Amino acid sequence: MRLLSLFTSQAAVNSALIATTLFVSSTSAQDRTTEQGEAQITDPNQECTPYYYQPVSAAIAANEFPPIWTVATIVSSDTNAQAKYQSIQSQIPNIPPKGTQPASLMGDFSNFTPTYPSSDPDCWWTFDQCTTPKLAGLPPDLAVVPEPDTLGYGFDDGPNCSHNVFYNFLSQNNQKATMFYIGSNVMDWPLEAQRALADGHEICVHTWSHRYMTALTNDEVFAEFYYTMESIKLVTGVTPTCWRPPFGDVDDRVRAIAHALGLRTIIWKYDSNDWRAGTGNVTSANVDQNYEDLITRAQNGTFATAGTIMLTHELNNFTMSEAVKFYAQLKAAFKYIVPMGVATNQTQPYVETTYSLPSFEQYISGTTTISSGVPLPTDGSSSSTGSGSSSGSSSSGTSSGSSSTGTASRASSDGLGMLAAGAAFVGFAMKLLA
């Protein structure tokens, strides 16, 4: 059972702060009002300097969203959210929250698991990694991908303020991935969120505040989904139809609420444990070994009849560096590396029909991009604070169809730039430690 929290130790924060001092901030003027301009910045200190972005500021001023980095609740003046929540009441099963808050928000279910039935009636992933719901009418979680010798590629916890060097790497390799975005990070770094769509990645929900979802009340679960979907819509123009539970913590009650909101549940089969490096007894060598074990399985034919999904993160410099470090080996071991939507032929990944993903056959034939996105909100000026990180990756071939705005001209960066991405971790960790 996974009961570890995302919250980072002070030692890790100190390390990141030390690493950040190795780099000198650029003083040249940069465009902090458009996705294209923001994507040109590769100095992490400048990337992670808060900027003003009008659509977000206006929404915050109008009290349209809950406070960031707190457990989401339905905004009292939000009649649309209230009406939507009321409309799905009949679809929510009578399953109580797991554990007792606030301990359960951090994954401490010690006062609950001793009395929880061993038969796991709620299909609680944290209890026994159940992925086939026991409640009628709910689809199975996506834990593996159906295509043989295929890796469903994605990254949690974005968008990170200093992701440009990593995104440049993905663009240079014509890789697309599924980005699981935290709503609070989207509000903090809206232009960074826009880059995922501009580069042709798939965006999914990773909740508003990244808490253990089964610990939340029904209205909190709803709000964590609803306002993340709304934040992504606000800054990118599209509404996701997929989500991944933080820490994998999901049961049939949470699935039912997600399903009622049109969200597919995506889990994983293998865990890189990249996010745990430096905590407990987990070392960077352990993470390397997890990657290598997956590569060995692929080489040995483990995925000859169906592909798989490995959990990886864009949380900090280390997790992104690991993705870069093992990319070539993964590409050699797997026949295809694709986003989750492509692997499952979800060619309409968003509620809006103005954006399409290629089918699996199109993608592996070289058409990695079908749509270049929808019109994005123009700046105006809106406040953005905080940090997170973003990443993606997928498949071989050359893209065809509409090209992503601003991607081809983005400058590449050297290894020092990649190391500098650690600055993103500082803001994110400090925020979580607060």
Look up the CATH number of the domain holding residue 279: 3.20.20.370
Is 84 a member of any domain?
yes
Residue 206 within any structural domain of the chain:
yes
- Residue 44: per-residue pLDDT: 87
In one-letter notation, the amino acid at residue 219 is D
Q: What is the pLDDT of residue 25?
A: 37
State whether residue 151 is helix, strand or coil: strand
Average pLDDT over residues 99-107: 98
Report yes or no on 111 lying in a domain. Answer: yes
- The overall average pLDDT reported for the chain is 84
Gap between the Cα atoms of 196 and 410, Å rounded: 14
Q: Using one digit for the tens of pLDDT, what is the confidence trace for 205-259?
A: 999 999 999 999 999 999 999 999 999 999 999 999 999 999 999 999 999 999 9
Give me the mean pLDDT over the 287-295 stretch.
Answer: 98
Distances (CA, A) of 156 to 49, 129, 310, 393, 428: 22, 19, 11, 12, 13
Average pLDDT over residues 28-34: 75
Higher pLDDT, 403 or 361: 361
Amino acid at position 357, single letter: L
pLDDT in tens, 407-427: 333 333 333 333 333 333 333
Residue 290 has pLDDT above 80, yes or no: yes
Confidence of residue 31 (pLDDT cuts 50, 70, 90): confident
Residues noted as catalytic? 156, 313
Under the banding of pLDDT at 50, 70 and 90, the label for residue 14 is very low
Q: How far apart are CA 273 and CA 276, in angstroms?
A: 5
Domain membership of residue 299 (yes or no) is yes
Instruction: Domain count for the chain, please give it.
Output: 1
Residue 160 in any domain: the answer is yes
**Domain-located, residue 85:** yes
Question: Model confidence at 372, in pLDDT bands (50, 70, 90)?
Answer: low
Give the separation between CA 136 and CA 341, rounded to whole angstroms. 24
Q: Whole domain around residue 375: which residue ranges? A: 10-433
Residue 1 lies in a domain: no
The answer to which of 6-20, 113-127, 255-269, 320-334 has the lowest mean pLDDT is 6-20
> Which residue type is seen at 152?
G
CB 188 within 8 A of CB 52: no
Per-residue confidence (pLDDT) for residue 377, from 0 to 100: 55
Is residue 2 a part of any domain in this protein?
no
Digit-coded pLDDT (tens) for 139-186: 999 999 999 999 999 999 999 998 999 999 999 999 999 999 999 999
- The count of C-alpha atoms lying within 13 angstroms of the C-alpha of 399, restricted to the half-sphere facing its C-beta, is 25
In angstroms, the CA 312 to CA 157 distance is 10
Of 121-125, 256-260, 282-286, 401-405, the poorest mean pLDDT is in: 401-405
pTM over 0.85: no
